[in-house]
Structure 1
Amino acid sequence: MDVFFNWFERHGGAIDRAAMKIGEIPGCARGAIALQDLPEGHTLFTIPRDLTLSTRTSALPSKLGLSTWKQYGLHVGWAGLILCMMWEEAQGAESKWDGYMSILPSEFDTPMFWSEAELDELKGTSVVDKIGEADAEKDFHDKVLPVIQSRSDLFPSEAIIQYYTLERYHVMGSRVLSRSFQVSKWEGEAEDQDNVPTEANTSVDSAAMDVDASPSPSEHKEDHDEDDEDDNEDNPADVAMVPMADMLNARYESENAKLFYEEHNLKMITTKAIMAGEQIWNTYGDPPNSDLVRRYGHVDLLPLQPPLSGSGNMADNVEIRADLVVHAVSKLKGNLAVHQERIDWWLEEAEDDTFVVFTDCDLPQELISLTRLLLQSEAEWIKTQTKGKLPKPMVDSDLLSVAIEVLQSRLAEYPTSVQEDEALLADGTLSTNVRNAVVVRLGEKRILAGTIAGARSQLERSQASDSSKGNSKRKRAEQEQAKSKRDKKARQ
């Protein structure tokens, strides 16, 4: 790492070499280790803004020209940044980032590179639908390849087979997915003028490796149009590769250092005291294991909190499609076609066709509301339409019965049971990719099982309450009938 450190410092970066080192860590690959006890607020390293690699700092956008950049759609999504990274790599020693590009990984454990058999292990989860391989390849063929073929002066034919292939596009895209940060332009806000650093966020990705925005990709004066720059936080020009900062690993609720940005620099600063020998953890925003495996190729296994038990990720969640609710209600109430008007109204008013269950194992409020809508009598439905408000998320026995049916249907979409997955993990012979897939699906199934158990318990209480109320009503009726007989006899 000395070569990389030297490159970093030669280009204006500063590292407290006495405070930290980068090295191999068992179970975490490469990461940062504290060399001495560090207090909160200690600056580990400083990165000049112009040493970050983005569509703002690479020379490629200005060489192509803004009109060409937009003509090929490189100002939308990640295609522009990926092309810049491919181009910088092709420049070799002439690139400012040569010392950085040379240490970036080219092999990944993310599902983008899994075999079909490994991907089958994710059946039932939403991961496969979010890999985005097809969308990435479409961007390559529709945006990147045409601009490469149009400028032989920038993309020599002899370099294409080595640096500008679909395979390299996937590698660079995976580097962006797993290592980029969201680094906004400096706006000179009041709190920043008081030398209060602003936190730089790790990049938020979408399923298709695409951030939906339409900003200008470059700040080079000859091409930059300030009016075209979108200040939205999802501006693709804000997505940047940040040398040194991307060396830190992350783990659920383990963050002890964060990246902050100032006018001219970014700084990695400790957010709590760190003991010598401890790993220095950044934060990825504590995503669920489904996102961790998709973006980074690893999972977090920490003690779970009630109502769950065992090891997993407390940020895990399960997505439930609205059509499962519709089918469950139809199973209870009959004709599916009867509900179509209500479904259309729901989609227009609520815009939710997927509900998310978290590790607290509570039924989603939106799922309850939709179920109530579908269970309403015709008179109640007309009243709901008149008010123009979604039904309140209140539960009763009928609703809980539907919810349990929905959860069981969702659980049946996995090919294995909780017990089978636990046995697989205990075996200890799984490959890394298969093990990660089992951890992801097991975490989701535990949430569903816990939510089913909670709903069943709630249903039993509701039925007991209904039964008690029924008994009370019968008892009052019997008492009133007996009193009526006594009064009649007394009058006689």
Structure 2
Amino acid sequence: MVHAPQTCEALLIWFQKQGGTVDLTSVGLVDFPNSEGGRGAIALKDIPEGHVLFSIPRDLTLSTRTSSLPNLFGLDEWKRFKLDEGWSGLILSMMWEAAQGPKSKWSEYMSILPTSFDTPMFWDEKDLAELQGTSIVSKLGKEDAEEEYKTKLVPALESRPDLFPSSERETHYSFHAFHLMGSRILSRSFDVEKWQGDEDEDENEMHEANTSMGSAMDVDENRAADPHPHRPEGEEHDEEEHEEGEEEEGEQDSSDTAMVPMADMLNARFGSENAKLFHERTDLKMIATKPIKAGEQIWNTYGDLPNSELLRRYGHVDIMALPNGEQGNPGDVVEIRADGILKAVHEIYPNITEESFSERIDWWLEEGEDDVFDFDWDLELPDPALAIICLFLLSEAEWIKAREKSKPPKPKADTEVLTTLKRAIQDRLKDYLTSVVEDEALLQRDDLTLNHRQAIVVRLGEKKILDSFLTKIAGLVEQQSNKAGKRKHETEAPVKGHGKKSKR
């Protein structure tokens, strides 16, 4: 991620001039070396838990609520062009604010935002090929982004040449600018909900601010992330995605998504969070959630995302010590799709008919069950994955009974199910072009590009998880085999005294 050359000092001057407050005795903004994450915030002295680091007026956040563009465009027309859906409206508003130059309230703020990104959205085909096997490429949504630009943004631009002069199309309203603003939203935005408190409520009552997956923001795990309603194929919930978002249409008010100056300066690292953003009626406050020592970095959180998502959204990966003594990201996860499990069942039980599989899959999805299963460092066998294997292995009579009861089978991990899951994992490992050993050797080289190195880190972490599951499954199968052998031996053993003459 490359930032504009404007200084942190310039941001602080602008921020305070616009009504923001910062405890400059406690918080310092710095430019870190490239290897340490660009810009961020550090503690200038010991900071106690509960200390307010800075406060942002709500009207200083940049969203479709605070930008004047939607009103100038006309709210009815805004909705007619579907700019109230997803991130298109905010992207257009940010384009327009940038085009206003010094006349925009956010001119100085936008001048310090990143001008380029290391995210895979901007990689060439050679670098993208290094991500084969991961789910990243399928989640980029490049084609969806281009379609959205052409079908929503361009018609809106052409309808109002007074607001969007054709002479500014290439500089401020191009497809590249669309990508740039979208990436800024993806990496830095917050979910700033409209204040819903009663007028008689205490103005000091606070609520944690949720994020739309910004780089320095707290995540409420009960809310979905990335509010954009368009996703590519089978991401987390198998929905379409514009390059920059992942939420079902209608689940979140798109006007909640906002850029939050100062708050987006905080970096994040797995398990390191020491500050959170809280809502008040008129302000947002960044508050220390634990003591912070002088010289330490002030961290918000991404929600402890896997490296695949960190790279896709923010252009970096986290590497730290794992419980097993290796290096990686404790939040890493590997997705195995239902069709991968179906393929494994086919390979082991070729006599099961396609028609039966098709009916069972349709019913499974109609019941609201998952079709993508997550495998992570907890090494707990996912119940939905076990349950769908059980479904595929039901006899016809059992299948009919389950369908009549509208009740998917309970997950179980018997030898038959474990053998099928083992095959699915082995097949999933074939999606990667390299082995664990090859990747570990590659990481020892000093001539790798940043993109290549980070791609290796992502795929290596995933493969190690899958290898660990194979080891666990092998152990479980062995345990079951030993138990079965013991039961058989006990059944076949002679009863005490059997065959001997009784004493008289």
TM-score (norm 1): 0.90
1:122 aligns to 2:131 (yes or no): yes
Name which of structure 1's ranges 182-191 and 258-267 shifts more when overlaid on structure 2: 182-191
How much has 1:94 moved relative to structure 2? 0.3
Secondary structure of 1:334's counterpart equals: coil
How much has 1:345 moved relative to structure 2? 2.4
Query: In the alignment, which of 356, 376, 399 is matched to residue 358 of structure 1?
Result: 376
Distance 2:201 2:486 in 1: 63
How much has 1:189 moved relative to structure 2? 5.5
Gaps (5+ residues) in structure 1? 215-229
1:11 aligns to 2:11 (yes or no): no
Q: 1:227 maps to which residue?
A: none
Q: 2:30 maps to which residue?
A: 23
1:406 aligns to 2:413 (yes or no): no
Secondary structure of 1:428's counterpart equals: coil
How much has 1:192 moved relative to structure 2? 6.2
Cα distance change on mapping 1:122 and 1:155 into 2, 3 Å: same
1:177 aligns to 2:186 (yes or no): yes
Matches within 5 A, 1:45-444: 45-188=54-197, 193=202, 195-203=204-212, 204-205=225-226, 207-208=241-242, 209-210=244-245, 212=247, 234-306=252-324, 309-335=325-351, 336-337=353-354, 338-444=356-462
Secondary structure of 1:320's counterpart equals: strand
Gaps (5+ residues) in structure 2? 1-7, 213-224, 229-240
Q: What is the total number of aligned residue pairs between the two structures?
A: 466
AA paired with 1:363?
L
What RMSD, in angstroms, separates the aligned Cα atoms of the two structures? 2.1
Distance 2:246 2:416 in 1: 42
Secondary structure of 1:33's counterpart equals: strand
Secondary structure of 2:443's counterpart equals: helix
How much has 1:428 moved relative to structure 2? 3.2
AA paired with 1:330?
H
Cα contact 2:203–2:280 (8 A) shared by 1: no
Cα contact 1:41–1:269 (8 A) shared by 2: yes
1:119-174 per-residue CA deviation (whole Å, 9 max, x = no partner) reads 00100000001112211111111111111111111111211121111111110100
**Larger Rg: 1 or 2?**
1
Secondary structure of 2:404's counterpart equals: helix
Q: 1:223 maps to which residue?
A: none
Cα distance change on mapping 1:33 and 1:394 into 2, 3 Å: same
Cα distance change on mapping 1:163 and 1:32 into 2, 3 Å: same
How much has 1:202 moved relative to structure 2? 1.9
How much has 1:285 moved relative to structure 2? 1.2
AA paired with 1:248?
L
AA paired with 2:43?
A
Distance 1:388 1:141 in 2: 43
Secondary structure of 1:426's counterpart equals: coil
How much has 1:194 moved relative to structure 2? 6.5
Distance 1:194 1:11 in 2: 21
AA paired with 2:192?
V
**Which protein has the bigger helix share?**
1
Distance 1:249 1:138 in 2: 32
Distance 2:289 2:397 in 1: 57
1:373-425 per-residue CA deviation (whole Å, 9 max, x = no partner) reads 22223333333233321111111111111111111111111111111111111
AA paired with 1:45?
F
AA paired with 1:9?
Q
Distance 2:77 2:336 in 1: 43
Distance 1:16 1:86 in 2: 31
Secondary structure of 2:190's counterpart equals: strand
How much has 1:184 moved relative to structure 2? 0.1
Distance 1:18 1:183 in 2: 27
Name which of structure 1's ranges 382-391 and 100-109 shifts more when overlaid on structure 2: 382-391
Distance 1:117 1:85 in 2: 31
Cα distance change on mapping 1:7 and 1:132 into 2, 3 Å: same
Cα contact 1:76–1:211 (8 A) shared by 2: no
Distance 1:149 1:385 in 2: 53
Distance 1:2 1:413 in 2: 48
| Aligned-pair identity (%) | 50
Name which of structure 1's ranges 69-78 and 392-401 shifts more when overlaid on structure 2: 392-401
How much has 1:288 moved relative to structure 2? 0.9
Distance 2:304 2:200 in 1: 27
Cα contact 2:277–2:286 (8 A) shared by 1: yes
How much has 1:88 moved relative to structure 2? 0.2
TM-score (norm 2): 0.88
